[in-house]
Amino acid sequence: MDELIEILQDVQPDADYENCTTLIDDGILDSFAVLSIVSELEDQYDIRITPADIVPDNFNSAQAIYSMVKRLSGEEE
């Protein structure tokens, strides 16, 4: 999870990833930030994030992103 937080902070440094659960809903992450995060996650975790995965539920919090990464990498929680 710490590695994920570092990736998120590199893309959007002014967000509170530890506590925020409305990153998309409140406009903290815009579409460009989400696409940047997707690219970084795919490179870092060797996963494929499809357009069907790019929905607010998967990006509203660091925990939601982490769960998606685990699911896509075959490491279900």
Q: Looking at residue 36, which CATH number applies to its domain?
A: 1.10.1200.10
Give the pLDDT score at 76. Answer: 67
One-letter amino acid identity for 7? I
Structural domain harbouring 53: 2-72
Q: Where are the beta strands (DSSP E) in the chain?
A: none
User: Domain tally for the chain?
Assistant: 1
- Written as six digits, the tokens of 63 are 């925990």
Residue 25 domain flag: yes
**In this structure, what DSSP letter does residue 48 have?**
-
- What pLDDT, on a 0 to 100 scale, did the predictor assign at position 75? 82
Residue 27, in any domain of the structure: yes
CB 5 within 8 A of CB 35: no
Domain presence at residue 10? yes
Contact 66, 75 (CB under 8 A): no
Contact 33, 11 (CB under 8 A): yes
pLDDT in 10s for each residue of the chain, 77 residues: 999 999 999 999 999 999 999 999 999 999 999 999 999 999 999 999 999 999 999 999 999 999 999 999 998 65
